[in-house]
Amino acid sequence: MQKLLNIILLAHFLSIPVHSQGTAGDQAKYEYRYLIDMPTAGVLEKGVVGVTTEMLPAGVLIAVIEAGVFENVSIGISYGGANLIGSGKVDWYNWPGVTIRARLINETTLIPAIALGFDSQGKGTYDDSTDRFVIKSPGFFAAVSKNFDFLGYMSLHGTVNYSLEGNDGDNFVDLRTGVEKTLGSSFSLLVEYDFAFNDNNTDFASGKGYLNTGIRWSPGQGFTVGFDLRDLLSNKSSSNNAADRSLKIEFIKNIF
């Protein structure tokens, strides 16, 4: 009897329409500023604050605070380290990361949104010998984004960037491209490809580029939860032919 009651309650819960108020799904309230690792042309609106926590392999945890300070301008600061989740000594990052972005052109029916920005926060462990993260920071970037009505919404994104992490001898301009497809009111599927022109001539990578995918769920009230798979092509030299798994939790709130 109890099992039957649980099934009925579960069916009732699943039948309740979910209205997304995060960044995922057809009813998303806020814009993506990143897909997985690549910046987009999205910004936080003035008076909106976002807090994001991302957990990656090797016990890496990164916390980010962002705020919309002016119309079409947002800034942020981040910090983290490796082995935060696990045991033993925590390997803190040397410096906090900073990000600033400004959208120069708002999207119209025919014109995509265009933004310029800077982001010094890389991801993964930090290698002191080459002064770089496993996943290099975007550095200076220009991003373009365009949304389309297609079985919900589909968004196309492109980024050109120049990372300041070039002490490994590979400091070329990089290109990234990605897509977001909404799956109902509160889910989205993300796919991005990093050509890794600035990471194809070192001991870190083999030159295949980075193919990443993820899913986002916005249960409501500004929350978005994400699960990502990175490096599906096993580009990293240290790869064991298995994609890196990571978890992201985001909370956004309008404080004005």
The CATH number of the domain holding residue 207 is: 2.40.160.40
- Classified as helix, coil or strand, 137 is coil
**pLDDT at residue 18 above 70?**
no
Mean pLDDT of 208-232: 94
CB 65 within 8 A of CB 251: no
Q: Give the per-residue pLDDT at 166.
A: 80
Task: Decide if 73 is inside a domain.
Answer: yes
Structure tokens at 197: 């022109």
**pLDDT at residue 96 above 70?**
yes
**pLDDT at residue 248 above 90?**
yes
Mean pLDDT of 186-198: 95
Task: Decide if 141 is inside a domain.
Answer: yes
Mean pLDDT of 184-203: 90
Share of the chain above pLDDT 90, in %: 67
Cross-strand pairs, 212 = 192
Q: pLDDT digits over 64-79, tens only?
A: 999 999 999 999 999 9
Task: Decide if 1 is inside a domain.
Answer: no
pLDDT top residue among 170 and 64: 64
Q: Which residue has the tokens 């980010």?
A: 64
> Pick from 184, 193, 185, 117: which is nearest to 157 by CA?
193
Q: Give the per-residue pLDDT at 202.
A: 65
Q: Give the per-residue pLDDT at 21.
A: 75
Q: How many domains does the chain have?
A: 1
Determine which of 69-73, 79-83, 201-205, 226-230 has the lowest per-residue pLDDT on average.
201-205
**pLDDT at residue 12 above 50?**
no
Task: Decide if 126 is inside a domain.
Answer: yes
Q: pLDDT digits over 29-39, tens only?
A: 999 999 999 99
Q: Give the per-residue pLDDT at 20.
A: 53
Task: Decide if 12 is inside a domain.
Answer: no
Structure tokens at 175: 């290109």
Task: Give the domain extent around 44.
Answer: 22-254
pLDDT top residue among 213 and 169: 213
Mean pLDDT of 76-94: 92
Q: Give the per-residue pLDDT at 206.
A: 78
Mean pLDDT of 90-100: 95
Q: Give the per-residue pLDDT at 105.
A: 96
Mean pLDDT of 175-196: 96
- Mean predicted lDDT score pLDDT of the chain: 88
Task: Decide if 243 is inside a domain.
Answer: yes
Reported confidence tier of residue 112, pLDDT bands at 50, 70, 90: very high
How far apart CA 49 and CA 155 sit, in angstroms, is 23
CB 218 within 8 A of CB 25: yes
**pLDDT at residue 111 above 90?**
yes
Q: What is the DSSP pairing of strand 123-127 with strand 113-119?
A: unpaired
Task: Decide if 8 is inside a domain.
Answer: no
**pLDDT at residue 239 above 70?**
no
Task: Decide if 182 is inside a domain.
Answer: yes
Number of residues that this document lists for the chain: 256
